[in-house]
C-alpha cells in the first residue's frame, strides 16, 4: 500500500487557498544538501535525471522522471498516485497536464527558476503566459520535519557519529586524505547513507575545511571533519576536530570557546527567537575572547544552516537573518571558527528546535579529540 | 548512463601541473582568443555547474564541486573565475585552476567590476549559458543591462574540443585503469557471494582509494533487465549480475559494465561486431542496432571524457561519424531467455589506424 505523503495534503490546501488547479514542481537531477528538492518533497524520491511532479487540487499526483529505465524503482518508492518513466520529460509533462484536465492558466510552477534555462524555456513554451512561480513552496511546506523525517535525521546523525569513530580509528600519519575519505565515505554508505556531503581535510594550521585532497597526514595535523550523511532524504551534519598526536593546552582552551558558543547558540534557539539572536549568542563568546573581528568570512562562513533535501529552512545562520525558529525545525548549528593561534576549528551538531531551545541529535557532542600515534 | 548526482564531489581536485601544465591550457584557449579577435568579442564567459562542466573544466581545469562557476576570459588581460562559494573557501578553490584571479560569486561586485573593464556597447561571447538558472541569468542580465550583447558560441567551444588532446587521452587512460580494477573487484565480491550493492560498494571503495574524484554505480536486482541507483537495501541476490561503474580521475571519466549469466556470450558477440565496425568515417548510427537492452535506450554509446556523456548518443538518428583521436564509450546489450547483459568497451582509434581498447567490460558466465 502506498505511503501517505503529508506534503501532498498540505499542497492541495495551498492550491485551494490560492484558487489554482494545480502546480508542477521541478528538479533537473542535481542534488544539494543545502536546498529543497521540490520533486523529493512531493514524491519522496530522488531521480537520476530531470523530473517533475504534477499536483492537482482534486487529489491527483503524478511523478514524471527521466530516464525511462528508472521507472520500476520510482514506482516502488514514490508516494505520488502515478509514475511515468520517460526519456522526454516535457513531452510527457504536457500530456499529463492535459490528461488531468488542468487549466494551464491556473497552474503554478515550483522551483522552475532554479533549474536550467533550457528546461525553463521548454516548460514555459507549454503555457500561453508565463505560469505563476511558487519557488519556495516545497521548502516552506517542509520546514517542520514530520515524525518519520525526524527519525531519519536521527538515523543519519547516528551514521555520522559512527563515521567519525571510524575516522578516529583509521587516521594515522602516512595516510592520504583521499584514502581516509574513501574509507569513511564507503563505511557510512554501507550503514545506509545514500549521499554524503563529506568534507575532510588536515593541516598543521587549517584556513578552513575542504574536500579531501592528496595531502599525506602527519603527526601534529589537525583533522577537520564535516560529516554529512543523508538517510532516506534527510541530511544530518556533525562538525569535528581531531589532532594526530598530542594536543596542546592552548588548543583545548580555544576549542572550549567553540563549545561554549555552541551551548549559547542552542539555548538561544527557542521557538519565536530569530536566527539573528542565536547567531549573536554564539558570536558573543568569541567576541568576548577578543575574536570579534574574526566573526565574518573568510574566517568563518555561517553559524549553521538548513539541511536539504526536504527544506532549506531556517536558511543560513547569520546575524542579518530575521527568520524565526519554529518547533520541529531541523538544521545544523556550528560555531566553526578560524583563530590565529590554532587555525580553523570545527564544532557542530544537527539540532531540532524544542519548546525550550535547540536539542542536539548527536549522542556525543563535539570535543577536541586526539589520535594516538 | 544517467546516475544519481551526489550532493558534493569528493576526492582530490587539485591541479597537477605536471600532468596538465600551463601551456596545455594556453593551447586549449587559443581558439577562444582567435574567435574573440576575429569577431570583436570583448570577453568570453564560460559557465559550468556541479553536474555538467566539461567546457569549463577544459578551458580552466576548474570543476565546481557544488553549485556553479563561471570563467570570464577577456580578449586582452587576465581572466577571472567566479565561483558560487564563500570567500572562506577561496584558498582551496585556487588550487584547482591555473587562473590566479579567483573570486566568490556570492559577491556580485566581482562580475560588475569585470565587465566595467570594457567600453560599451560591446559583445560578450557565452558558453553553456543554457545550463544557467533563470535566477542567475536574471542577475547577470540586470548587470549588463542594455550595454552588452550576449552571443552564444557553444558551437565554437565544441569545435575547439572536436578531438581529445593527447593529455586528455592520457588522463582517460588512467581513469580507465581505475575503473578496470573497480570492475574486477565488483566481480570478485560477487563471486564470493556478496549481494549486488555490497559488491558495488567494494568496487567504489577501491576506486576512491585510488584517488578517483567521483564514482557512480548502478545495479540490477532483476537478472540484468533494469538498473537502479544505490538504495542501501543489501538484500537479495539475483541469479545474474549486471552492474554499471564509472569513475572520474583528474576530471576525466571512464566507465564499464560487469555482467554474468546466460546472456553474456550474445552481448559479447554484439560488442565484437560493433568494434569491427569502428573505422574512420563509419556512421555511428550503425552501432545503435547492437544496443538491444532497455537501459541503453537504443544508444550504442557516445564520446566520453570531461563528461560521462560527451555530445550526442549514438542512436539510429545520429548523423556523426567515427573519428580518430576521440575516446568512445561503446555498449552492446541484449536479453536472452529473460536474462540481460551488457558488454562495453572504451576505445580510441589512433591516427595510425590502430584501435586502442582502454577498458573492456568484465564478463563471465557465472
Q: Note the ipTM here.
A: 0.93
Residues sharing a CB contact under 8 Å with residue B286, sequence separation 6 or more, in sequence order: B277
Same domain, B231 and B146: no
CATH number at residue B88: 3.40.350.10
Q: Is B334 exposed, middle or buried (0-12, 13-18, 19+ CB in 10 A)?
A: buried
CB-CB neighbors (< 8 A) of B137 in chain A: 117
Asked whether residue B94 carries a pLDDT value surpassing 50, the answer given is yes
pLDDT at A2: 57
pLDDT at B126: 98
For B344, the grid coordinates are: 562495453
* Of the residues B160, B189, B208, the one at which a domain ends: B160
Q: Is A270 exposed, middle or buried (0-12, 13-18, 19+ CB in 10 A)?
A: middle
* Of the residues B160, B186, B221, the one at which a domain ends: B160
Segments of chain A with pLDDT less than 70: 1-3
The parent domain of residue B292 ranges over: 166-364
Query: For the domain bounded by A147-371, which CATH number is listed?
Result: 3.90.230.10
Question: Residue A53 and residue A43: Cα distance in Å, rounded?
Answer: 7
For residue B265, the SS3 value is helix
Enumerate the β-bridge partners of residue B74: B43
Put simply, the answer to whether A30 touches B51 (Cβ < 8 Å) is yes
Question: Residue A17 and residue A139: Cα distance in Å, rounded?
Answer: 18
**Nearest chain A residue to B224, by CA:** A69
* DSSP-assigned states of every residue in B146-162: TTEEEEE-HHHHHHHTS
Could you read off the pLDDT of A13-48 as tens digits, one per residue? 999 999 999 999 999 998 888 889 999 999 999 999
Q: Do residues A92 and A57 lie in contact, with contact meaning Cβ atoms separated by under 8 Å?
A: no
**Nearest chain B residue to A178, by CA:** B11
> Is the residue at B51 inside a domain?
yes
Q: State the residue for C-alpha cell 565554437.
A: B156
pLDDT at B14: 87
CA atoms within 13 A on the CB side of A50: 21
Same domain, B181 and B244: yes
> Is the residue at B282 inside a domain?
yes
Could you read off the pLDDT of B96-107 as tens digits, one per residue? 999 999 999 999
Could you read off the pLDDT of B301-341 as tens digits, one per residue? 999 999 999 989 999 999 999 999 999 999 999 999 999 99
Same domain, B282 and B198: yes
Mean local confidence (pLDDT), B121-127: 96
Same domain, B145 and B187: no
Distance from CA of A355 to the nearest CA of B (A): 32
Question: Residue A79 and residue A2: Cα distance in Å, rounded?
Answer: 6
Same domain, B220 and B319: yes
Instruction: Look at chain B and report how many structural domains it folds into.
Output: 2
Question: Residue A112 and residue A126: Cα distance in Å, rounded?
Answer: 13
Among the ranges given (A1-5, A73-77, B67-71, B141-145), the one the predictor scored with the smallest mean pLDDT: A1-5
> Is the residue at B15 inside a domain?
no
Same domain, B105 and B124: yes
Q: State the residue for C-alpha cell 524555456.
A: A121
Question: Residue A87 and residue A97: Cα distance in Å, rounded?
Answer: 17
Put simply, the answer to whether B130 touches A30 (Cβ < 8 Å) is no
Mean local confidence (pLDDT), B189-202: 96
Assign B129 a pLDDT band (cuts: 50, 70, 90). Answer: very high
Mean local confidence (pLDDT), B57-83: 96
- What are the sequence ranges of the domains in chain A? 6-141, 147-371
Number of Cβ atoms within 10 Å of the Cβ of B328: 24
CATH number at residue B200: 3.90.230.10
Q: Do residues B27 and B117 lie in contact, with contact meaning Cβ atoms separated by under 8 Å?
A: no
CB-CB neighbors (< 8 A) of B234 in chain A: 190
pLDDT at A1: 47
**Nearest chain B residue to A209, by CA:** B89
Same domain, B120 and B192: no
Mean local confidence (pLDDT), B4-14: 84
Put simply, the answer to whether B129 touches A182 (Cβ < 8 Å) is no
Same domain, B170 and B152: no
Same domain, B282 and B179: yes
CB-CB neighbors (< 8 A) of B87 in chain A: 297-298
pLDDT at A109: 96
Put simply, the answer to whether B91 touches A29 (Cβ < 8 Å) is no
**Nearest chain B residue to A120, by CA:** B134
Rounded mean pLDDT of chain B? 95
A6-141 fold: Creatine Amidinohydrolase; Chain A, domain 1 (3.40.350)
Same domain, B102 and B198: no
CB-CB neighbors (< 8 A) of B230 in chain A: 189, 194
Phi-psi region of A304 (alpha: psi -120 to 50; beta: other; left: phi over 0): left
Put simply, the answer to whether A208 touches B92 (Cβ < 8 Å) is yes
CB-CB neighbors (< 8 A) of B14 in chain A: 213-214
* Of the residues B136, B160, B184, the one at which a domain ends: B160
Same domain, B88 and B188: no
Number of Cβ atoms within 10 Å of the Cβ of B365: 11
Same domain, B156 and B212: no
For B304, the grid coordinates are: 566520453
Asked whether residue B293 carries a pLDDT value surpassing 70, the answer given is yes
Asked whether residue B292 carries a pLDDT value surpassing 50, the answer given is yes
Amino acid at each position: 500500500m502506498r505511503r501517505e505523503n503529508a506534503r501532498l495534503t498540505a499542497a492541495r490546501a495551498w492550491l485551494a487557498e490560492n484558487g489554482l488547479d494545480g502546480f508542477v514542481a521541478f528538479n533537473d537531477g542535481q542534488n544539494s544538501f543545502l536546498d529543497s528538492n521540490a520533486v523529493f518533497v512531493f514524491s519522496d524520491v530522488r531521480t537520476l535525471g530531470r523530473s517533475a511532479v504534477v499536483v492537482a487540487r482534486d487529489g491527483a499526483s503524478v511523478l514524471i522522471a527521466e530516464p525511462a529505465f528508472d521507472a520500476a524503482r520510482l514506482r516502488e518508492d514514490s508516494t505520488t498516485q502515478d509514475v511515468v518513466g520517460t526519456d522526454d520529460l516535457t513531452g510527457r509533462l504536457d500530456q499529463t497536464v492535459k490528461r488531468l484536465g488542468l487549466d494551464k492558466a491556473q497552474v503554478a510552477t515550483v522551483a522552475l527558476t532554479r533549474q536550467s534555462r533550457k528546461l525553463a524555456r521548454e516548460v514555459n513554451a507549454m503555457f500561453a503566459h508565463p505560469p505563476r512561480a511558487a519557488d519556495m513552496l516545497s521548502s516552506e511546506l517542509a520546514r517542520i520535519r514530520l515524525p518519520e523525517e525526524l527519525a531519519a535525521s536521527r538515523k543519519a546523525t547516528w551514521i555520522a557519529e559512527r563515521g567519525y569513530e571510524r575516522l578516529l580509528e583509521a587516521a594515522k600519519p602516512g595516510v592520504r586524505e583521499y584514502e581516509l575519505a574513501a574509507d569513511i565515505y564507503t563505511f557510512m554508505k554501507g550503514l545506509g547513507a545514500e549521499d554524503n556531503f563529506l568534507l575532510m581535510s588536515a593541516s598543521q594550521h587549517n584556513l578552513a575545511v575542504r574536500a579531501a585532497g592528496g595531502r599525506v597526514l602527519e603527526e601534529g595535523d589537525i583533522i577537520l571533519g564535516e560529516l554529512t550523511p543523508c538517510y532516506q532524504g534527510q541530511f544530518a551534519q556533525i562538525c569535528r576536530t581531531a589532532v594526530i598526536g598530542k594536543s596542546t593546552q592552548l588548543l583545548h582552551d580555544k576549542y572550549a570557546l567553540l563549545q561554549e558558543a555552541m551551548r549559547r547558540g542552542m539555548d538561544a534557539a527557542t521557538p519565536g527567537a530569530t536566527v539573528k539572536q542565536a547567531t549573536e549568542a554564539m558570536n558573543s563568546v568569541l567576541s568576548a575572547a577578543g575574536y570579534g573581528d574574526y566573526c565574518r568570512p573568510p574566517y568563518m562562513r555561517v553559524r549553521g544552516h538548513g539541511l536539504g533535501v526536504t527544506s532549506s529552512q531556517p536558511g543560513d545562520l547569520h546575524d542579518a537573518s530575521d527568520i524565526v525558529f519554529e518547533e520541529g525545525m531541523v538544521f545544523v548549528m556550528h560555531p566553526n571558527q578560524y583563530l590565529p593561534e590554532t587555525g580553523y576549528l570545527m564544532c557542530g551538531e544537527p539540532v531540532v528546535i524544542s519548546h525550550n531551545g535547540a536539542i542536539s541529535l548527536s549522542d556525543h557532542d563535539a570535543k577536541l579529540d586526539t589520535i594516538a600515534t | 548512463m544517467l546516475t544519481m548526482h551526489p550532493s558534493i564531489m569528493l576526492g582530490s581536485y587539485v591541479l597537477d601541473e605536471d600532468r596538465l601544465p600551463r601551456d596545455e591550457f594556453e593551447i586549449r584557449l587559443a581558439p577562444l582568443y582567435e574567435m574573440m579577435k576575429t569577431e570583436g568579442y570583448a570577453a568570453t564567459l564560460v559557465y559550468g555547474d556541479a553536474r555538467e562542466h566539461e567546457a569549463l573544466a577544459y578551458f580552466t581545469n576548474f570543476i565546481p564541486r557544488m553549485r556553479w562557476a563561471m570563467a570570464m576570459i577577456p580578449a586582452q588581460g587576465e581572466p577571472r573565475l567566479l565561483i558560487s562559494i564563500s570567500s572562506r573557501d577561496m584558498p582551496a578553490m585556487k588550487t584547482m585552476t591555473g587562473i590566479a584571479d579567483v573570486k566568490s560569486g556570492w559577491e556580485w561586485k566581482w562580475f560588475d567590476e569585470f565587465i566595467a573593464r570594457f567600453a560599451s556597447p560591446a559583445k560578450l561571447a557565452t558558453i553553456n549559458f543554457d545550463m544557467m538558472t533563470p535566477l542567475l541569468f536574471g542577475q547577470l542580465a540586470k548587470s549588463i543591462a542594455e550595454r552588452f550583447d550576449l552571443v552564444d558560441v557553444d558551437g565554437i567551444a565544441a569545435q575547439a574540443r572536436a578531438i581529445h588532446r593527447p593529455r586528455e587521452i592520457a588522463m582517460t587512460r588512467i581513469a580507465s585503469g581505475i575503473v578496470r580494477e573497480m570492475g574486477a573487484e565488483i566481480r570478485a565480491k560477487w563471486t564470493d557471494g556478496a549481494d549486488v550493492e555490497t559488491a558495488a560498494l567494494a568496487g567504489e571503495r577501491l576506486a576512491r582509494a585510488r584517488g578517483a574524484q567521483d564514482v557512480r554505480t548502478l545495479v540490477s536486482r532483476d537478472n540484468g533487465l533494469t538498473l537502479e541507483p544505490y538504495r542501501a537495501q543489501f538484500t537479495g541476490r539475483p541469479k545474474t549480475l549486471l552492474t554499471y561503474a564509472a569513475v572520474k580521475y583528474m576530471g576525466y571519466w571512464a566507465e564499464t559494465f560487469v555482467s554474468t549469466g546466460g546472456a553474456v556470450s550474445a552481448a559479447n558477440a554484439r560488442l565484437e561486431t560493433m568494434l569491427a565496425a569502428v573505422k574512420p568515417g563509419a556512421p555511428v548510427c550503425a552501432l545503435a542496432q547492437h544496443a538491444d537492452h532497455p537501459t541503453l535506450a537504443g544508444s550504442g554509446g557516445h564520446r566520453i571524457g570531461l563528461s560521462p556523456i560527451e555530445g550526442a548518443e549514438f542512436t539510429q538518428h545520429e548523423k556523426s561519424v567515427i573519428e580518430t583521436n576521440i575516446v568512445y564509450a561503446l555498449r552492446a546489450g541484449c536479453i536472452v531467455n529473460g536474462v540481460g547483459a551488457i558488454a562495453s568497451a572504451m576505445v580510441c582509434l589512433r591516427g595510425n589506424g590502430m584501435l586502442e581498447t582502454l577498458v573492456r567490460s568484465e564478463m563471465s558466465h557465472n
